[in-house]
């Protein structure tokens, strides 16, 4: 293992050293007169890295293409299927951009089955969602901001009281909130949160436990971004003194979700040091209920009284309702970076279902899958080169070939909205999931690529520009390894540094 890491690091250092005279990486256009080395040296270096003994059980898929010359610079198992992990988001994001358009906006409609009399809405307030994924801290800095804007709109229309309930209307995403083949052990974690047509803060909440002022006292709990989501059940968190044996260890908060009833609650236990706090991030189990609860909080903060309950069971019939107003999301071109740069699973799942809703008439995963598969076929991908089972890559039933990924990258390179797609990808040494990788090398600020990680799978696919100005397409998929992820990343990074260097392949 140590030999592999040292070897990959040495390769990266050697590639970077060859470019030392270039100084700091520049984001301006590279020189087209920079020298290049013949590809045989590159192929030998890659072959030797992936053939290391520590990778003897691993399955590598690599393809590097120069699309302008129609030339494949390197290929290994390019037509074999691999578990792509979050490289699946390249397929989902590209299809969404191609099918829905960069200016597509999600909408949330507000309506009522009653009339407004002297400030009282004599009926239910019905909220009809279609999956807006931007009511979040990531999009607005505070997930409550768009909900407060909706409350302000009601107030501006003279609403001071809702005599009925706040009700979910319609059922745009009628299937399971979870993806096919997701691991049950992960469902309480934010990256495995379910999705629905009403969706709050990317499906998760922060729960902060504050120690009591005295040893043994009862800790207090606060939730964010909404004060009321999730509902807190049992709190058995001990406040310890600095002399307690546990004080030598970090705060430790465990949680379990009690899923009984329409509104799941969270039970907390553990230890927190006196005058300290600990925060955990938890998945929201009932997305629509959580959205409505947070909205009810925004209504109360605005001074609007709700007499009835919050009901997440879809209203049986939305026909005949009086439309009040509509909230629209930012355009898809602005949402795409929120998906690709941090590798946000739930936005991908919402895109997946929205493709089915908008293009196949049903907001189900099966409909979304058919839209993605049709788009891949239109781009010339081999039908045996992919098995699409969700939008995010969390499913261990997703499979793609490196050739399929490069087909998508090439199709987007030629697409009118390529700038939006390219700009949404993480940038090496700059931002997103590769913001800490390839720093101080010619690849920094150059490589735009999507990562992917699930157990025994590590992926990186995207675009790299050579020193003489050619944009290359690449897909590096690695499965079934037992080395640390960092060992796979070292090889991926070394290849990209070489490609971006003046000594890259001709």
Beta strands 120-122 and 161-162 are parallel
Statement: residue 19 has pLDDT above 80 = no
Nearest CA-CA partner of 307 in 125, 154, 143: 125
Given the residues 89, 273, 359, 450, the one annotated as active site: 89
Say what the pLDDT of residue 175 is.
92
Residue found by looking up tokens 């979040």 in the block: 136
Say what the pLDDT of residue 252 is.
77
Q: What percent of the chain has pLDDT over 70?
A: 89
Residue-wise pLDDT for 224-258, tens only, equals 999 999 999 888 888 887 656 555 566 778 888 87
Residue-wise pLDDT for 477-491, tens only, equals 999 999 999 999 999
Residue-wise pLDDT for 269-294, tens only, equals 888 888 889 898 999 989 999 999 99
Residue-wise pLDDT for 162-196, tens only, equals 999 999 998 999 999 999 999 988 888 899 999 99
Given the residues 343, 367, 395, 475, the one annotated as active site: 343
Nearest CA-CA partner of 196 in 14, 28, 354: 354
Residue 369 burial (CB count, 10 A): 20
Phi–psi pair at 19, nearest 5 degrees: -115, 15
343 a catalytic residue? yes
Residue 102 burial (CB count, 10 A): 19
89 a catalytic residue? yes
Say what the pLDDT of residue 247 is.
55
CATH superfamily entry for domain 2-18+34-102+333-500 = DD-peptidase/beta-lactamase superfamily (3.40.710.10)
Range 106-330 classified under CATH 3.30.420.40: no
CB-based contact 99:355 (threshold 8 Å): yes
Cβ-Cβ contacts under 8 Å for 277 (sequence gap 6 or more) = 208, 209, 210, 211, 251
What predicted TM-score, i.e. pTM, was given to this entire model?
Answer: 0.91
277 a catalytic residue? no
Average pLDDT over residues 375-395: 97
Residue-wise pLDDT for 428-452, tens only, equals 999 999 999 999 999 999 999 999 9
Nearest CA-CA partner of 87 in 381, 342, 351, 452: 452
**The tokens of 302 are what?**
């605005």
Say what the pLDDT of residue 8 is.
43
CB-based contact 123:322 (threshold 8 Å): no
Phi–psi pair at 217, nearest 5 degrees: -75, 165
**Residues spanned by CATH 3.40.710.10 within the chain?**
2-18+34-102+333-500
Residue found by looking up tokens 């399929």 in the block: 404
Average pLDDT over residues 95-119: 97
Residue found by looking up tokens 């709990």 in the block: 221
**Residues spanned by CATH 3.50.80.20 within the chain?**
106-330
Statement: residue 361 has pLDDT above 90 = yes
Say whether 494 sits in a helix, a strand or coil: helix
Statement: residue 262 has pLDDT above 80 = no
CB-based contact 114:122 (threshold 8 Å): yes
Residue found by looking up tokens 């922060």 in the block: 206
| First-residue to last-residue Cα distance in the chain | 32
Nearest CA-CA partner of 306 in 315, 314, 296: 296
Statement: residue 109 has pLDDT above 70 = yes
Say what the pLDDT of residue 34 is.
47
């Amino acid at each position: 293992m140590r030999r592999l890491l040292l070897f990959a690091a040495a390769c990266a250092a050697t590639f970077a050293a060859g470019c030392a005279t270039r100084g700091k990486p520049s984001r301006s256009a590279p020189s087209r007169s920079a020298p290049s080395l013949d590809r045989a040296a590159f192929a030998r270096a890659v072959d030797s890295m992936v053939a290391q003994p520590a990778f003897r059980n691993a399955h590598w898929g690599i393809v590097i293409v120069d699309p302008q010359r129609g030339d494949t610079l390197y290929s290994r198992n390019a037509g074999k299927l691999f578990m792509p992990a979050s490289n699946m988001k390249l397929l989902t994001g590209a299809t969404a951009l191609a099918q829905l358009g960069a200016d597509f906006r999600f909408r949330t409609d507000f309506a009522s089955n009653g009339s407004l009399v002297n400030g009282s809405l004599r009926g239910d307030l019905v909220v009809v969602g279609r999956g807006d994924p931007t009511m979040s801290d990531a999009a607005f800095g505070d997930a409550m901001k768009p909900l407060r804007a909706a409350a302000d709109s009601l107030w501006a229309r003279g609403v001071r009281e809702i005599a009925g309930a706040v009700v979910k209307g319609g059922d745009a995403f009628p299937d399971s909130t979870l993806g096919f083949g997701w691991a049950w052990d992960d469902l309480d974690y934010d990256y495995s949160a379910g999705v629905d047509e009403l969706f709050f803060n990317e499906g998760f909440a922060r729960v902060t436990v504050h120690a009591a002022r005295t040893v043994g006292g009862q800790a207090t709990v606060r939730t964010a971004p909404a004060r009321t989501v999730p509902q807190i059940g049992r709190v058995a968190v001990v406040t310890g003194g600095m002399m307690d044996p546990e004080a030598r260890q970090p705060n430790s908060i465990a949680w379990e979700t009690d899923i009984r009833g329409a509104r799941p609650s969270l039970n907390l236990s553990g230890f927190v040091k006196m005058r300290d706090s600990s925060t955990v991030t938890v998945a929201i189990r009932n997305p629509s209920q959580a959205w409505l609860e947070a909205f009810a909080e925004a209504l109360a903060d605005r001074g609007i009284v709700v007499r009835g309950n919050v009901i997440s069971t879809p209203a049986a019939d939305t026909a005949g309702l009086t439309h009040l107003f509509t909230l629209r999301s930012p355009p898809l071109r602005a949402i795409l970076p929120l998906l690709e740069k941090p590798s946000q699973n739930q936005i991908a799942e919402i895109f997946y279902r929205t493709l089915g809703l908008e293009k196949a008439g049903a907001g189900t995963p099966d409909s979304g899958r058919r839209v993605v598969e049709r788009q891949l076929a239109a781009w010339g991908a081999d039908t045996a080169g992919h098995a699409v089972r969700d939008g995010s890559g969390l499913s261990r039933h997703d499979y793609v070939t490196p050739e399929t990924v490069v087909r998508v990258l090439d199709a987007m390179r030629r697409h009118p909205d390529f700038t939006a797609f390219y700009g949404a990808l993480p940038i090496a040494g700059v931002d997103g999931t590769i913001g800490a990788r390839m720093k101080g090398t010619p690849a920094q600020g150059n490589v735009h690529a999507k990562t992917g990680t699930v157990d025994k799978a590590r992926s990186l696919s995207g675009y790299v520009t050579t020193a003489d100005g050619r944009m290359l397409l690449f897909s590096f998929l690695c499965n079934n390894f037992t080395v640390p992820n960092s060992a796979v990343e070292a090889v991926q990074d070394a290849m990209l540094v070489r490609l971006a260097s003046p000594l890259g392949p001709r």
